[in-house]
Structure 1
Amino acid sequence: MRWRVWLATWVLSAGLAGAVEPLSLSLALAGAAASAFTGFLSYPRLYCLFAHCCHQGDGAQVQPVLQENLDKKLFGQHLARKVIVKAVTGFLNNSNPKKPLTLSLHGWTGTGKNFASKILAESLYKEGLNSKYVHQFISTLHFPHLQNLTQYKDQLQMWIRGNVSACARSIFIFDEMDKMHAGLIDAIKPFLDYYDELDGVSYRKAIFLFLSNAGAEKITEVALDFWRKGKKRTDLELRDVETTVSVSVFNNKNSGFWHSSLIDRNLIDYFVPFLPLEFRHVKMCIRAELESRGYVVDEDIVTRVAEEMTFFPKEEKIYSDKGCKTVYTKLDFYYDL
């Protein structure tokens, strides 16, 4: 009601009240309110401060948040951090991309693939994975039965078409690609290709993420070779790994990407390697978990938990075979939660 009081006061102070009938004044007030609300809606950035909107910002908006969260929370993955930040920022800065951004994240379990996709989603939408514009598919949950492959393809196409129609900047995350039935993911190939529109819908501003354990062996081979040659882990470049991973995934019969047209047609923009985690990275995960629970970091407990993890190869024992996957449950043993 405050706006009505303010507007009535303004009218009176302008000396116009005597010339306006009560009904006319009420209509004027109602019209002003409608006009103000329409004006409010005409400024998307203002409106979206109070409502959940499809992302309209550019890379300058997202880059600082994305960079900071990846630096603080994703340990031992200098390649993944660099590629994700540059790819996403560049894509968002392009007002007229030729195709959707498509990233395929590869590495052992516990190395941070899901964590990175969560951080990316949160950098665009404050609700993160819970946003109505972020859609997550888990192969063993959403596409379990081989006999339903045709049905899954139709449903997947309809789901993506409907959600991109509602929000051009939709994010689609496909987890457990190594467990997906071969041929299913090719159903979305038209949406990832270089088309302006398909049946009146443009998919060029959407983001697709694929998460997979496939290719992890090749990533480890490259990382281990670097270590044995005395090279720094951080000297490893994307070019040292990416081609090897893409070929490995394409030829892996146990991968959802087996002989996939998405790879054959070069529709995946980056194969992002997640390196196996070393002892020091596991300790970083433990410290971060302790801090998130509000505990003072006890370095003795940090070391003891890290030493309970198993490492490979058998001789060198450099890399954690579960990454940071079981760190959180192991901490429960030391604290009465």
Structure 2
Amino acid sequence: MKLLNAAVFLILVPTLMPALDPLSTSVFMGGAAVAWQLLSPHSWLKCSLLECCNMKDTLNLSAIKMDLEQKVFGQHLAIQIVLKALSTNMYSKWPRKPLVMSFHGWTGTGKSFVSSIIAENLYQLKIPRRRFVHHFSPVLHFPHLSHVHLYKDQLQNWIRGNVSACPRSLFIFSEMDQMPHGLIDSITPFLGYREEIDGVYYGKAIFLFLNNAGGDKITEIALDYWRRLKRREDIPAEKLQSLLSEEIFRNRRGGFFHSQLIQKNLIDYFVPFLPLEYKHVRECVREELRVQGHPEDEDLITEIASAMIDYPREEGLYSSKGCKTVATRVTLSI
């Protein structure tokens, strides 16, 4: 109806022109053009001023690739898997199921950072898309174990409603190791191989699960490779993904304990984030100095990075906090 009204409005414009002087005509035509853009469902102007969901303009893969390769350190496996997963999903016109990835690793290794890069580039246009990125924290959104049944209904309704509004929606679940047992299984129907559920298509949705569970297993394998004088780059991604699937399924403290999502193979990729070595922490410090607008100071970079390497106690190879506290340390040291 809005488009019809706009069309009629513009058809009548020529009949009104003779009554207007040149300046008024220009203003009138400019206003008409703006009105047309605002009334069009996916116009560039409307999408600039108001948030809209444009199915033809999603996933800025080139920007994601550049950010991952330039700003994420020591995570060649994670970058490789994430780029493969996103490109496969993007180049399929109608994906058969939503893209589901589970990020695993120690704190500070880049899980939240990578998810934020994906969120920032969910759409080609560099415009905030907060309406289509949904972040869930167990502590904040699901704090009471006695309310799990209520949370299940709320979570289903939230996902159903938002995917109905925009098929290319992103759902990020942080701290999955603190998720109430059984809660995440409530979204199982949305993650399967189905064309539609009650008239809603979920194939373009993306689900990211962030989990510290499995981090010790990843570090154990990386450390074993180092002790055997093998490169971390030689660790096979397939081996880690298989181990992570088994590890979190049996972990009683995690939200995936005996989860249907794993039993039914609905998680497409288990993404390992390796522990960060001294050279990786140095790059984090260097990047933080740049972000805060300070010149590179090699002595300061060495000082901060060296102080953060603390695991194992004997070898002193990894940072148990990753790059988690780098920003604070840089601020305090300047």
TM-score (norm 1): 0.86
SS of 1:230's partner is coil
Select the residue among 68, 71, 78 that pairs with 1:70.
Answer: 68
List aligned pairs for 1:213-232, cutoff 5 A.
Answer: 213-232=212-231
2-side partners of 1:167 and 1:39: how far apart?
19
Cα separation, partners in 2 of 1:35 and 1:224, compared to 1, 3 Å? closer
Shift of 1:127: 5.1
Matches of 1:45 and 1:236, distance apart in 2: 45
Work out the CA distance in 2 between the residues paired with 1:69 and 1:302: 22
Asked if 1 retains the 8 angstrom alpha-carbon contact of 2:134 and 2:172, the reply is: yes
Q: 1:231 to 1:203 in 2, by over 3 A?
A: same
User: What is aligned with 1:298?
Assistant: 297
Alignment partner, residue 160 of structure 2? 161
Q: CA deviation at 1:306?
A: 1.1
In 2, the alpha carbon distance for the partners of 1:8 and 1:215 equals: 66
Does residue 114 (structure 1) correspond to residue 116 (structure 2)? The answer is no
Q: Mean alpha-carbon deviation: is it higher for 218-227 or for 206-215?
A: 218-227
Question: Which ranges in structure 2 are unaligned for 5 or more consecutive residues?
Answer: 1-10, 20-24
Tell me the equivalent position of 1:123. Answer: 121
Could you list the per-position Cα deviations for residues 195-215 of structure 1 after superposition, in whole angstroms to 9, with x for gaps in the alignment?
211111111110000000001
Instruction: Supply the distance in 2 between the matched residues of 1:45 and 1:229 (Cα, whole angstroms).
Output: 56
Tell me what 2:275 maps to: 276
Task: For 2:230 and 2:163, locate their aligned partners in 1 and report how far apart those are by CA, in whole Å.
Answer: 45
How many angstroms apart in 2 are the aligned matches of 1:177 and 1:334? 33
Distance in 2 of aligned mates of 1:148 and 1:39: 43
Give the superposition deviation at 1:104: 0.3
Structure 2 match to 1:149: 148
Q: Alpha-carbon deviation of 1:322?
A: 0.4
SS in structure 1 at match of 2:193: coil
- Give the aligned CA root-mean-square deviation in angstroms: 2.8
- For normalisation by structure 2, the TM-score amounts to 0.87
Post-superposition offset of 1:58: 6.3
Partners in 1 of 2:143 and 2:264 — Cα distance? 27
Contact 2:133 2:171 in 1 (8 A): yes
Deviation sequence 1:230-250 (CA, Å, 0-9, x none): 122222231121000110000
Q: Following TM superposition, by how much is the alpha carbon of 1:47 offset from its aligned partner in structure 2, in angstroms?
A: 4.6
1:315 matched to 2:314: yes
* Structure showing greater Rg: 1
Q: 1:289 to 1:55 in 2, by over 3 A?
A: farther
Contact 1:186 1:261 in 2 (8 A): yes
User: How far off its partner does 1:51 sit?
Assistant: 3.7
User: Number of residue pairs matched?
Assistant: 316
Shift of 1:293: 0.6
Moved over 2 A (4+): 7-12, 32-36, 42-53, 55-59, 125-128
Determine if the alignment matches structure 1 residue 289 to structure 2 residue 278.
Answer: no
Per the TM alignment, residue 138 of structure 1 is displaced from its structure 2 partner at its CA by 0.5
Per-residue displacement from partner, 1:159-205 (whole Å, max 9, x unpaired)?
11111111000000000000111100000000101121111111111
Asked whether the 8 Å contact 1:58–1:92 carries over to 2, the reply is: no
Question: How far 1:41 moved relative to its partner?
Answer: 1.7
SS at match of 2:294: coil
